[in-house]
Amino acid sequence: MPETTTVSLAGAIAVDLIAVLVAVVNGSPSVLTVQNGDALPSGPFEDAHRSLQTGLRIWVEEQTHHPLGYVEQLYTFADRDRSAAGSSQRVISISYLGLTRETRGEVGWRSWYDYFPWEDHRDGPPVVIAEHLVPRLRDWAQAGGTAALPEERWRRCAFAFGLDGAAWNEELVLQRYELLYEAALVPERVRETGGQSDATRISGRAMTGDHRRILATGIARLRAKIKYRPVVFELMQPAFTLLQLQRAVEALAGRLVHKQNFRRLIEQQELVEETGVTTSDTGGRPAKLFRFRHAVLAERAAAGTKLPLTRA
């Protein structure tokens, strides 16, 4: 049974809103941070706010002067250990994922691969995985007692990081972070002011509290979402070339995609239409500019079949 050291007075619970705000800033999938990159923007949920979502919009636009495009709720966290050290105050954090194309007020945007260096596979698997993570994870697995635990631990590692013949799955961002956390390979686990030179190179930049976990949740959600909902366009300028679109997807997914098959996919789903304009800013042959067909949002909010339905 739980150890009740903290007395539960009425009203001991505070509610925070916390935002994972994403933009693609010259080729880098970026997240808006505060405190010099140590934290995600957050603030108390005010009673005056009409709803959570509007509450979030209000203060994000206040703080950042960014019009906030697509917004969705991510997750609500409330583990006991989230409380600030010393205080027995219980904090509930309701996190949101937001997408924007605006990048004014140049402050605070950071590539999310600063925080998760092992997640960027656009130039092949990052060396940090084989060099640093794998040996340490293997040590951790082997230290797992006597029973079947070591194999079980290693199986999880291999699956999450695409080892031993398993394929890399870019959606497992959270699982990977949690494994590293469990294996104490991440500064947040030991809480030492976060971000020593060596630790950062290996395990990425740390953040306050569990902000990095929340960021991982957001990235995972977004990587999953781009596959079945046309949300990338929220991150694009109004007009863009197909390669720019492809680069944006690649930035988010952390993987390269096949050029022509990508184009065919976009085309056959009728996601874009030509603007009639071409640009030669891209180096090489001038490219046609496209715009997103907003009609598709109305037409199909994604069928989402996968069940072999009988004909009606």
Partner DNA sequence: TCAAAAGTGTTATCCTTACACCCATGT
Partner DNA sequence: ACATGGGTGTAAGGATAACACTTTTGA
Give the total of residues touching DNA (CB under 7 A): 27
- Taking the C-alpha atoms of residue 67 and residue 133, their distance in angstroms, rounded to an integer, is 39
Tell me which of 84, 265, 295, 297 binds DNA, using CB under 7 A.
265
Q: Is 305 in the site for DNA (CB under 7 A)?
A: yes
- Structure tokens belonging to residue 156: 């999880």
Q: Which of 25, 28, 37, 63 binds a second copy (CB under 8 A)?
A: 63
Stretch that binds a second copy, among 22-30, 133-141, 271-279, 295-303 (CB under 8 A): 295-303
Torsion of CA 198, 199, 204, 206, to 10 degrees: -130
Q: Which of residues 150-209 bind a second copy (CB under 8 A)?
A: 155, 159, 167-169, 171-172, 208
- Token pair recorded at residue 269: 């789903």
Q: What does the DSSP 8-state code read for residue 34?
A: B
Q: Which residues are CB-neighbours of 302 under 8 A, at least 6 positions away?
A: 228, 229
Say which entry of DNA, a second copy, none residue 16 contacts (CB below 5 to 8 A, set by partner kind): a second copy
> What residue spans of 183-210 are helical by DSSP H?
187-190, 197-203
**Residue 146 interacts with, from DNA, a second copy, none (CB under 5-8 Å by kind):** none
How many chain residues are in contact with a second copy, going by CB under 8 A?
80
Pairing relationship of beta strands 272-279 and 71-77 according to DSSP bridges: unpaired
Q: Does 7 bind a second copy (CB under 8 A)?
A: yes
The one of a second copy, DNA, none whose footprint includes residue 75, by CB under 5 to 8 A per kind, is: a second copy
Q: Specify the residue, 175 or 241, whose C-beta has the smaller distance to DNA.
A: 241
∠ CA 28-58-237, nearest 5°, is 35
Q: Copy the structure tokens of residue 258.
A: 């096949």
Binding-site ranges for DNA (CB under 7 A)? 241-244, 258-261, 263-265, 268, 278, 280, 282-288, 305-306, 308-311
